[in-house]
Amino acid sequence: MVSKAKDYPSLVKEIRRQLGLSQEDLARELGVSFATVNRWENGQVKPSKLAQAQLNAFCAKRVGEGRLKLSGFPA
């Protein structure tokens, strides 16, 4: 699961890369601010437990749609 990931900056970048999203687009999808996604990606802060749950749900949905491939999620 995403919440067990230790390297959030790389994870957020990889999610955005695979889905072709900007930081602003990902923030909108998750219901957080652009600054929040920017801080995650720059390693300044890690997502809160609520944000981790939102990120998990977002990734699980995209993996289920076949749009995203991440280790820790079923293909």
In tens, the pLDDT along 8-56 reads: 899 999 999 999 999 999 999 999 999 999 999 999 999 999 999 999 9
Record the pTM. Answer: 0.84
Question: Domain limits of the chain?
Answer: 2-64
- The stretches of 1-75 forming alpha helices (DSSP H) are 8-19, 23-30, 34-41, 49-64
Structure tokens at 61: 């949905």
- What DSSP designation does 70 have? -
CATH class of domain segment(s) 2-64 = mainly alpha
Q: How far apart are CA 75 and CA 70, in angstroms?
A: 8
Mean per-residue pLDDT, 53-64: 93
Q: What is the pLDDT of residue 7?
A: 85
